[in-house]
Amino acid sequence: MSYNIIETRNLVPDVNLLKVEAPDIAKAAKAGQFVILRIDESGERIPLTIADFDADEGSITVIYQVMGKTTRQLTTLKTGETLRDFVGPLGTPSDIRKLGTVVMVGGGVGVAPVYPQARAYRGAGNHVISIIGARNEEMLILEEEMAEVSDELYVATDDGSKGHHGFVTDIVKDILDSDQQVDRIVIIGPPIMMKVGAGVTAPYGVETLVSLNPIMIDGTGMCGGCRVSVGGETKFACVDGPEFDASGVDFDLMMSRLSIYRPQEKEALESYNKKCGGDCKCH
């Protein structure tokens, strides 16, 4: 079985959107879950968090950053072409319920998985405050979409080209220092950003959740590649997560594990670029 590509487009430099026809997945998907895709028979399996789903259209949307060989190869695919495998929904859905005020924080490509959660939290009756950030204005994604599903939206850029000049965590701290009641904070983005965010919220005692992105292979808990340490216990992000209480996550261990295969990833990308020039679908 193959999966038709409905839409593919570039959002910002090295960040692309991919919409795939997958009606069974779209009917079952919930905010916080992910899929694993494979381009062709010899391709690697890569996990991508679901950025949007439409049961009526039968579509799943993912947003990915071009970093390695497979994501580079994904950019060569066009509307009407197919993926060999597209499996999901995987992972435990986010705990969406009425809490009161929920602060959603997305950094870089992390804004993509924040979007369906913000929509779901607001749909459950929460007051949703969203904070999105990027290195600069050019790298911001889904700003209009986030505004539509949020009661309040704040923007931060590292260089000050739009919104707050600084980090998303600066705005989180400002909100926590105000008189506003906050019942939950969800932070999704680069591991270092989530680590810093967890450190910022810890003194305030507000429940803080993060979505972890360790190395993953089968997505069913069998391989153990996605193991992370949470509260001193080993958890598998693919089945126990990907969402966890930030206060118990060993971010340093996760970041060290993420770099294990970096030499092989670099070699694979260099080989692909050398062979294809970035313009073909060979592997």
Task: Mark the binding-site residues, compressed into ranges.
Answer: 63-65, 223, 226, 238
Cβ–Cβ < 8 Å for 216, 238 = yes
Tokens of 156: 């931060």
Quick check: helix, strand or coil at residue 252?
A: helix
CA dihedral over 226, 230, 233, 238, signed as positive or negative:
negative
CA dihedral over 29, 194, 96, 109, signed as positive or negative:
negative
Cβ–Cβ < 8 Å for 117, 32 = yes
Taking the C-alpha atoms of residue 251 and residue 245, their distance in angstroms, rounded to an integer, is 12
CA dihedral over 161, 165, 166, 167, signed as positive or negative:
negative
**Cα pseudo-dihedral 85, 90, 96, 102, rounded to 10:** -80
Cβ–Cβ < 8 Å for 114, 146 = yes
List the binding residues for [2Fe-2S] cluster: 223, 226, 238
Taking the C-alpha atoms of residue 190 and residue 187, their distance in angstroms, rounded to an integer, is 10
Radius of gyration of the chain (CA): 18
Quick check: helix, strand or coil at residue 240?
A: helix
List the binding residues for FAD: 63-65
